[in-house]
Structure 1
């Protein structure tokens, strides 16, 4: 049994930020990443993914995002940035190490690996993100639909859908981005329960993130308010609204059912459909905590207060949507939550 101070589960943006802050707090974390590289889910996102926040606001603690600070980095730029960040990090990062279970022991936790190995850790940070658990909503007739159904997690590019009839489900940023690029070469509809809400990306000549940072709203503890609010608006520099105005893609209220190769819309119209893409988000992916009694609620969401486990001292969560603020699960905001978790972790270990 290897004994370590702290284990960070996940080597993506949340895990790397957490490791950085734990090192700053005087601890020696071991980062366990299931894949073969420390870049989290970014290498598996769709090819054209572009950040809605400029590079200057999209950096992890301790390392600026290089290049033009006002550009909006693409997926591969983020992957390269995270890889460089990991290489500079003074922490023990171990790739190809999938955690299967975390169990309590006398001094903290036992972390079990798929390889059969075990680590004894005084503290654990769950930073494995949400990408591993795509949310698939109930759609009447989906099980008998003859066309192709995939989640946005499995979407890469519009090429396989050229010339086809495609429906994208969702009202968030990914849904709008995917639908807009599909519409260039296919007849595409965005299906939503309510009209898409757009927000201007620039105000008074500045990106919205400048104002969020300047006013402090980006870091404010708004979790309860935001969780009660409707879907967050899609930031737009004008191109997406123009695309919808031109009908490429168009937007329709949610369909009522699927049947064979056909889709039925709320107004009763039916038509043939080739593919359905679900940009319906993700849910927390923490199966390795099932053995910690009370750590998760019945839906698999962590029980926590401001990111610290409400049940198990020494366990923290970083990278959760709305964990504390508007940007808790983003590149621009995860560092703040990681710093808070690291301070609490160091204080806990000092007391014990």
Structure 2
């Protein structure tokens, strides 16, 4: 029996391994580039809280400890992932960074940076949706020469600084949470983009995802008109970080801001304060260059999920809107897994 290879030991990779084992696949191997599970979560800023409660943040087969309606911290979730991997004795090969995948006649050849080579009939890409923060390159003509951080690179000591002037560029959940944390002891300007749509974290005493689930909105096919509207508006739970709530904390809301468009040093002063430090929180991008050998040779104009679907035995999970709104959420892994047409090994 050939082994099944999963790339990535984050929540998606661990859940996929468990689900495969439940279906009778015994030789399931997870390849992880780092030396621990959940690296993407570990590198996020301290103070991060998931916007799904423990009830909807648990992986298949194991509940999270504590009250199901509590919202787990980053550290709680990382510890849960470690416990999950140990409980189900998942076969994780750490320090195996995948650098190349070739599609052979009878399966895949997976090459790692440490020289290891794995053969597999089925390959699951579970590297997640938050791989690389959007890079921000200042032009050589830019007038700003201060520190620039991302939600991954900012250290705890910067989040506990006092009386500094911060500019946060990007008003998604991460940008808003960071602005709120910094505003306790600093002056903060939040640069906003498109008009945001917010959801309450709880409604009538229930997690908002309880209602979205009951109404069928979480699992509504992305091809439906309503799903397309939801994708375009991209609402997210924002208790405590709406525009009005942030303004009450003294945070200044500013229109879209680009450091490269500054015409003079005087423009580094927002609301009378010179910018000391900047956080770029404008989202993430994926890196699938290691799949070039089997994926990028064909139909390069199609979205990656469509190209992956055309290759026998290759499966992509835990990406936003693979099939529905829930695809990019922790709770959506099992839903999308159950839609797959698995091969026999």
TM-score (norm. length: structure 1) = 0.86
Alpha-carbon spacing, 1:228–1:239, altered in 2? closer, same or farther (3 Å): closer
Alpha-carbon distance, 1:262 to partner: 5.5
Alpha-carbon distance, 1:178 to partner: 0.7
CA-based RMSD: 2.9
Q: How far, CA to CA, are the matches of 2:241 and 2:193 in structure 1?
A: 22
| 1:349 aligned residue | 344
> Number of residue pairs matched?
339
- The worse-fitting range, judged by mean Cα deviation, of 256-265 and 178-187 is 256-265
Alpha-carbon distance, 1:260 to partner: 7.3
Alpha-carbon distance, 1:59 to partner: 0.7
Contact map agreement 2:165 2:273 (CA 8 A) in 1:
no
Indicate which of 20, 24, 27 corresponds to 1:26: 24
| 1:243 aligned residue | 245
C-alpha distance after superposition, 1:42-67 (max 9, x if no partner):
11111100011111111111111111
Q: How far, CA to CA, are the matches of 1:234 and 1:208 in structure 2?
A: 10
Alpha-carbon spacing, 1:117–1:262, altered in 2? closer, same or farther (3 Å): farther
| 2:235 aligned residue | 233
Alpha-carbon distance, 1:228 to partner: 7.8
Q: How far, CA to CA, are the matches of 1:39 and 1:301 in structure 2?
A: 26
Q: Secondary structure at the match of 2:326?
A: coil
Q: Secondary structure at the match of 1:349?
A: coil
Structure with the larger strand share: 1
2:12 corresponds to 1:17? no
Alpha-carbon distance, 1:17 to partner: 1.1
Gaps of 5+ in 1: none
Contact map agreement 1:223 1:323 (CA 8 A) in 2:
no
TM-score (norm. length: structure 2) = 0.88
Alpha-carbon spacing, 1:334–1:194, altered in 2? closer, same or farther (3 Å): same
Q: Secondary structure at the match of 1:333?
A: helix
2:182 corresponds to 1:187? no
In the TM superposition, 1:108-119 aligns within 5 A as 108-119=107-118
Indicate which of 274, 277, 286 corresponds to 2:276: 274
Q: Secondary structure at the match of 2:93?
A: strand
Alpha-carbon spacing, 1:259–1:247, altered in 2? closer, same or farther (3 Å): farther
Contact map agreement 2:240 2:246 (CA 8 A) in 1:
no
Alpha-carbon distance, 1:269 to partner: 7.7
Q: How far, CA to CA, are the matches of 2:141 and 2:14 in structure 1?
A: 38
Alpha-carbon distance, 1:188 to partner: 0.5
| 2:75 aligned residue | 76
C-alpha distance after superposition, 1:91-141 (max 9, x if no partner):
321111111111122211100011111111111001112333211367777
Q: How far, CA to CA, are the matches of 1:337 and 1:261 in structure 2?
A: 50
Alpha-carbon distance, 1:247 to partner: 4.9
Alpha-carbon distance, 1:338 to partner: 2.8
